[in-house]
């Protein structure tokens, strides 16, 4: 197994656990402003890591042709409507891919165009397993022809993707991921996986890494923070420690710290708690997804 030097240490531990350097990035294309920001950030990462990129445009054929209650005589009109909308979706997908390829070519980044017809979730998950990082706009709507918004697909991807996902809000700074990274550690398996995959990805190289924990109880937070710090030291990173005591919103506390230190990227485990637990108190992931102004590196 190869080792890559990051900062002052070795990341052989991260590789041993199967967290590879980024060599292939999947970008989910879909015309929204956050989708455009996702392309921009993904191309910046590709240049930094010398990775290739794949642009994925999805035609949501099942939703377009989904059954609907129609009056007598309406079935023929529905079929015509389905054909028209499908044709428009295919044309739009081809346009996004052509634009993507020309941007990559102008930047000298190796790229491939992928067009998928099917459910967005299945299409993204199928391709995500072949890429070390998947980049999605925060407000991406892959079902734009039939739905006014699509938070469902994004959340399902975050719950089920086998590899890290980078969620990019529209407001992401133009300079890519910036020089400061904030890792949020809550002791969960998801947070550990996110930290280690980030450490092994090559993105930690030449960046100032901070780690923070949030808890109502200061002592608990402190112990957890030290554990997280140790995990990162074991893989060759030397993060700055932050221990946040927040009686209310974890997301808000992390967000404030990120602003304070000028973080250009937030790393955390996605939806670490069960869906049942999320029914009773608001998920930190969801809170950050909605309010973050910088990209979020997430892994479940």
Q: Which of 16, 33, 79, 233 binds another protein (CB under 8 A)?
A: 79
Point out which span in 80-88, 109-117, 123-131, 275-283 binds another protein (CB under 8 A): 80-88
Is residue 39 a contact partner of residue 27, using CB atoms and an 8 Å limit? yes
In angstroms, the Cα distances linking 30 to 22, 79, 154 are: 23, 25, 13
- Report helix, strand or coil for 32: coil
C-beta closer to another protein: residue 80 or 107 = 80
C-beta closer to another protein: residue 76 or 276 = 76
Q: Count residues near another protein (CB under 8 A).
A: 21
Cα separation, 158 vs 140, in Å, equals: 13
Residue 76 Cβ, how far from another protein at the closest point, in Å?
A: 4
The binding track of 47-76 with respect to another protein, each residue x by CB under 8 A or -, is ------------------xxxxxxxxxxxx
Helices (H) and strands (E) in the chain, counts: 11, 12
b vs e for 240-265, b when ≥16 Cβ sit within 10 Å of the residue's Cβ?
A: eebbbebeeebbebbbebbeebebbb
C-beta closer to another protein: residue 84 or 291 = 84
C-beta closer to another protein: residue 117 or 208 = 117
Is residue 271 a contact partner of residue 296, using CB atoms and an 8 Å limit? no
Is residue 81 part of the contact set for another protein (CB under 8 A)? yes
Is residue 95 part of the contact set for another protein (CB under 8 A)? no
Residues 137-176 that bind another protein (CB under 8 A): 148
Cα separation, 254 vs 12, in Å, equals: 29
Cα separation, 37 vs 135, in Å, equals: 10
Residue 63 Cβ, how far from another protein at the closest point, in Å?
A: 12
Is residue 247 part of the contact set for another protein (CB under 8 A)? no
Residue 86 Cβ, how far from another protein at the closest point, in Å?
A: 11
Is residue 91 part of the contact set for another protein (CB under 8 A)? no
Cα separation, 299 vs 198, in Å, equals: 10
Residues that bind another protein (CB under 8 A): 65-81, 84-85, 88, 148
């Amino acid at each position: 197994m190869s080792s890559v030097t990051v900062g002052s240490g070795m990341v052989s531990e991260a590789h041993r656990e199967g967290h590879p350097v980024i060599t292939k990035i999947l970008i989910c294309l879909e015309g929204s402003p956050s989708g455009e920001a996702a392309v921009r950030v993904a191309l910046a990462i590709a240049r930094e890591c010398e990775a290739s990129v794949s642009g994925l445009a999805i035609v949501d054929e099942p939703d377009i042709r989904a059954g609907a209650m129609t009056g007598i005589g309406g079935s023929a009109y529905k079929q015509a409507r389905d054909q028209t909308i499908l044709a428009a979706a295919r044309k739009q997908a081809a346009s996004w891919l052509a634009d993507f390829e020309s941007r990559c070519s102008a930047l000298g980044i190796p790229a491939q165009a992928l067009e998928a017809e099917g459910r967005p979730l299945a299409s993204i998950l199928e391709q995500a397993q072949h890429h070390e990082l998947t980049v999605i706009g925060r407000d991406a709507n892959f079902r734009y022809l039939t739905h006014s918004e699509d938070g469902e697909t994004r959340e399902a991807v975050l719950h089920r993707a086998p590899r890290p996902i980078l969620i990019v809000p529209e407001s992401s700074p133009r300079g890519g991921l910036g020089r400061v990274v904030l890792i949020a550690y809550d002791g969960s398996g998801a947070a550990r996986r996110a930290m280690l995959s980030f450490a092994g990805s090559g993105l930690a190289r030449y960046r100032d890494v901070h780690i923070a924990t949030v808890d109502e109880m200061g002592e608990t937070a402190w112990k957890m923070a030290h554990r997280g710090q140790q995990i990162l030291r074991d893989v060759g990173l030397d993060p700055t420690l932050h221990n946040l005591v927040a009686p209310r919103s974890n997301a808000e506390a992390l967000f404030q710290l990120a602003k304070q230190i000028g973080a250009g990227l937030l790393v955390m485990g996605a939806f670490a708690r069960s869906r049942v637990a999320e029914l009773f108190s608001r998920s930190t992931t969801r809170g950050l997804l909605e309010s973050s102004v910088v990209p979020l590196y997430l892994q479940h």
